């Protein structure tokens, strides 16, 4: 029996991970695709005139089995990859793309949707139903439903090839990250805090090496760059980090990126758009490339001024160490950490014992309880990996969701941090509660100790999880994070603010051994340094966002690396700061269409999240129940049931300007 195809009798309908093998997935996908095709054919070919129930609601449920199988497979493929799963991903990419094209190219099916759309005023639809109908029609049209003949066939081929290339880009990047490591001698450990040494030794064991190593996992390489006094080793590690996806050979992503950009430009042209950026931004809040560029450049100028001033200070520190020449990218984090210690008396090695993973999990759960009444009960149930943990989420005794956390870096997991859903919330066809997954790449330890940035990442991903768990809509098509890309980061970035609330850290930031609270003076210094090095952080982000926009604004560049260099030269990118994500490892943009022309969305959402948290500050309480209730009603539970600017305005009364963002990053005085 294939466990993916039989009814699941597990608690809360969790996937029966222990009974699922890699060999189950391919036949399960075959069966699920066949069932979905049969359902789609029945909907398109029925004799009854189209109505909302027999067309839109039927489509909502047509791919239930495919959703279930995909929810398990793609989560495992990202968080716990195997050779078999990677091979199946490559095989599935064109198959899944072909199925999606079959659906949106189905003329009879689109005819039914179009008839409903044209007659929508007489259907008696609720606002949510009208929104769902609107989005279905938009999806079909933007997928090429109005194209015919050779154009339709070509668009199908383009989308299929893009799916293959996106998978290839991701797997090339994972292969490079997995393959590289730098062995360290005992002498090379000089100056490294105990937690970095411990992580390096653990990484050495994983790589099968007798001694410590540095890998390309952010949780290890960043603290190494912060603390290692050995400049040559910092340079070697930093350059390897920057060369992911650009090492030549079978895993080189530069040609992959060029082909992706060319095909995206062709896709936009087939659909009648001036550029891929125009196509991609049409349904977003920004709407146009010009609006995106205006925001980014509004923030770029003060951020660059701040970064250049900081660079001068750090370069003086470099010269004081007897090193001639300019400040280099592999120097920035090292001297910035020294400066942070000198100016704010903040030593990350002294800070981390107060930020254990368990303590920060308790903090994020406590904030969710105080804001939204959620309670979390640890579950003892088999999951897909021994590192993963699960909790039942309830409110006033009623089940809300299952939350899974997978927090430690390993070779089988792609880099970064993300939130996904193995099952999304919906009410159609019976109440379906979500199964939500947060994935991070923290260094494993006993206990696991986080940096403040790690803790911020934890809260960020949990903000996404709350968006999924508190979703309260009828239709899965608009549930949870199914919103505009430049709106989806609002809940996640907003939730980060509660990590900065003094009473939260006073309660939860406790020494993992003694249980003592973080000393008051340390807490004050930590919060006072909240905008430290924001010039650097903002510049490296905007550099990436502007390159992403330039890639998609006009004709596709034949050489993306040359285009990247031209964009950075035009804006005067500081020498000692690199893009946060260089083209060959810019997974946000090239592993799929999700953030293509959309990397700016983090900053677009930050404009709102700074203003949204100000609502709590204006109420005089970070946990004000009335503001929290509005936040849940209009943002967290609403999904994509209305246009995002309408939802935000209902929550806040108006759309914000850029000033709260500049203030939050400590850049306002630079304007």
Task: Find the CATH number of the domain harbouring 412.
Answer: 1.10.1370.40
For residues 207 and 282, membership in a common domain is answered with no
| Residue 293 counted as domain residue | yes
- Count of domains in the chain? 4
For residues 225 and 277, membership in a common domain is answered with no
| Residue 664 counted as domain residue | no
For residues 79 and 34, membership in a common domain is answered with yes
pLDDT of residue 415: 87
| Residue 152 counted as domain residue | no
All residues at 6 or more sequence positions from 38 whose CB lies less than 8 Å from its CB, including other chains: none
Range(s) of the domain holding residue 63: 11-104+106-142
Q: pLDDT-derived band of residue 29, with 50, 70 and 90 as boundaries?
A: very high
pLDDT of residue 668: 80
For residues 290 and 324, membership in a common domain is answered with yes
421: enclosing H helix or E strand: strand 418-423
pLDDT in tens, 329-342: 999 999 999 999 99
Backbone phi, psi, residue 213, to 5°: -140, 160
For residues 449 and 518, membership in a common domain is answered with yes
Residue environment code for 19-55, b if the CB has 16+ CB neighbours within 10 A, otherwise e: ebeeebbeebbebbbebbbebbeebbeeeeebebeeb
Among residues 512, 528, 544, which one ends one of the domains? Answer: 528
**Which of 56, 534, 608 lies closest to 303 in space, CA to CA?**
534
Residue 185 has pLDDT above 90, yes or no: yes
| Residue 642 counted as domain residue | no
pLDDT of residue 212: 97
For residues 523 and 543, membership in a common domain is answered with no
pLDDT in tens, 358-367: 999 999 999 9
Among residues 142, 168, 190, which one ends one of the domains? Answer: 142
pLDDT of residue 671: 41
| Residue 116 counted as domain residue | yes
pLDDT in tens, 393-443: 999 999 999 999 999 999 899 889 999 999 999 999 999 999 999 999 999
pLDDT of residue 472: 98
Residue 122 has pLDDT above 90, yes or no: yes
The dihedral over CA atoms of 394, 428, 15, 437, expressed in degrees to the nearest 10, equals -60
For residues 512 and 540, membership in a common domain is answered with no
For residues 368 and 325, membership in a common domain is answered with no
CB atoms within 10 A of CB 68: 19
For residues 481 and 364, membership in a common domain is answered with yes
Helices 452-469 and 485-496: angle between axes, nearest 10 degrees: 120
| Residue 415 counted as domain residue | yes
Residue 670 has pLDDT above 70, yes or no: no
pLDDT in tens, 212-234: 999 999 999 999 999 999 999 99
Q: Mean per-residue pLDDT for 295-311?
A: 96
Residue 357 has pLDDT above 90, yes or no: yes
CATH number of the CATH domain containing 303: 1.10.1370.10
Strand pairing report for 398-408 and 418-423: unpaired
Residue pair 135/478 in contact (Cβ under 8 Å)? The answer is yes
Q: What is the percent of the chain where pLDDT is above 90?
A: 96
Residue 379 has pLDDT above 60, yes or no: yes
- By annotation, the residues acting in catalysis are 461
Alpha carbon 612 to chain centroid, angstroms: 20
Q: Mean per-residue pLDDT for 502-522?
A: 96
| Residue 632 counted as domain residue | no
Residue 501 has pLDDT above 70, yes or no: yes
For residues 394 and 461, membership in a common domain is answered with yes
Q: What is the percent of the chain where pLDDT is above 70?
A: 100
**Which of 138, 150, 158 lies closest to 97 in space, CA to CA?**
158
pLDDT in tens, 312-331: 999 999 999 999 999 999 99
For residues 89 and 120, membership in a common domain is answered with yes
Q: Mean per-residue pLDDT for 124-142?
A: 98
Q: Mean per-residue pLDDT for 534-551?
A: 97
pTM above 0.75, yes or no: yes
All residues at 6 or more sequence positions from 390 whose CB lies less than 8 Å from its CB, including other chains: 14, 378, 379, 381, 383, 402, 403, 404, 405
| Residue 36 counted as domain residue | yes
Among residues 528, 549, 566, which one ends one of the domains? Answer: 528
For residues 357 and 341, membership in a common domain is answered with no
pLDDT of residue 669: 64
């Amino acid at each position: 029996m294939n466990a993916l195809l039989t009814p699941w009798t597990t608690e809360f309908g969790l996937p029966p991970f222990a009974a699922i093998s890699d060999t189950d997935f391919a036949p399960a996908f075959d069966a699920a695709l066949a069932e979905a095709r049969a359902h789609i054919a029945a909907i398109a070919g029925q004799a009854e005139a189209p109505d909302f129930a027999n067309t839109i609601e039927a489509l909502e449920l047509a791919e239930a089995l495919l959703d279930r199988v995909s929810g398990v497979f793609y989560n495992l493929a990202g968080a716990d990859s195997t050779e078999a799963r990677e091979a199946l991903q490559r095989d599935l990419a064109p198959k899944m793309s072909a199925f999606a094209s079959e659906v949106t190219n189905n003329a009879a099916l689109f005819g039914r949707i179009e008839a409903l759309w044209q007659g929508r005023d007489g259907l008696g639809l609720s606002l949510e139903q009208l929104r769902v109908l609107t989005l279905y029609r938009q999806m079909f049209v933007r997928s090429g439903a109005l194209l015919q003949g050779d154009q339709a066939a070509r668009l199908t081929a383009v989308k299929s090839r893009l799916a293959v290339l996106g998978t290839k880009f991701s797997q090339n990047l994972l292969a490079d990250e997995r393959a590289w490591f730098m062995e360290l001698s005992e002498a090379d450990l000089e100056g490294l805090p105990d937690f970095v040494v411990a992580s390096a030794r653990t990484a050495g064991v994983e790589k099968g090496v007798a001694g410590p190593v540095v890998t390309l996992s952010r949780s290890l390489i960043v603290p190494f760059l912060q603390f290692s006094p050995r400049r040559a080793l910092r340079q070697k590690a930093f350059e390897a980090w920057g060369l992911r996806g650009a090492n030549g050979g079978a895993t080189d992503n530069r040609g992959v990126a060029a082909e992706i950009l060319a095909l995206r430009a062709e896709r936009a042209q087939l659909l009648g758009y001036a550029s891929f950026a125009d196509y991609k931004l049409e349904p977003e809040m920004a709407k146009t490339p010009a609006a995106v560029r205006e925001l980014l450049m509004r923030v770029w100028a003060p951020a660059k001024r701040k970064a250049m001033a900081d660079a001068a200070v750090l370069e003086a520190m470099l010269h004081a160490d007897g090193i001639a020449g300019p400040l280099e990218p592999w120097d920035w984090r090292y001297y910035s950490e020294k400066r942070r210690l000198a100016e704010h008396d903040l030593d990350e090695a002294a800070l981390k014992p107060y930020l254990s993973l368990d303590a920060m999990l308790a903090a994020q759960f406590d904030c969710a309880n105080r804001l939204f009444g959620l309670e979390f009960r640890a579950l003892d149930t088999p999951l897909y990996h021994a590192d993963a943990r699960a909790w039942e989420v309830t409110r006033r005794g009623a089940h809300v969701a299952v939350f899974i956390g997978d927090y430690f870096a390993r070779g089988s997991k792609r880099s970064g941090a993300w939130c996904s859903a193995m099952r999304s919330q919906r009410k159609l066809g019976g109440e379906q509660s979500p199964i939500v997954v947060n994935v991070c790449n923290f260094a494993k330890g006993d206990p696991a100790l986080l940096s403040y940035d790690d803790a911020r990442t934890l809260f960020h991903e949990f903000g996404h999880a709350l968006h999924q768990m508190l979703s309260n809509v009828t239709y899965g098509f608009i549930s949870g994070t199914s919103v505009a890309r430049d709106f989806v980061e609002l809940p996640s970035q907003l939730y980060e603010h509660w990590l900065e609330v003094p009473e939260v850290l006073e309660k939860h930031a406790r020494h993992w051994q003694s249980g003592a609270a973080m000393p008051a003076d340390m807490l004050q210094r930590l919060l006072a340094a909240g905008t430290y090095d924001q010039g650097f952080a903002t510049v490296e982000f905007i550099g990436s966002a502007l390159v992403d926009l330039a890639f998609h604004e006009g004709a596709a560049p034949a050489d993306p690396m040359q285009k990247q260099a031209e964009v950075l030269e035009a804006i005067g990118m500081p020498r000692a700061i690199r893009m946060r994500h260089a083209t060959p490892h810019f997974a946000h943009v090239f592993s799929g269409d999700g953030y293509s022309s959309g990397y700016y969305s983090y900053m677009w959402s930050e404009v709102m999240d700074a203003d949204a948290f100000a609502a709590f500050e204006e109420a005089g309480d970070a946990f004000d129940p009335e503001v929290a209730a509005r936040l849940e009603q209009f943002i967290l539970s609403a999904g994509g049931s209305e246009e995002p600017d309408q939802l935000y305005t209902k929550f806040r009364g108006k759309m914000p300007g850029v000033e709260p963002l500049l203030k939050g990053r400590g850049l306002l005085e630079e304007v």
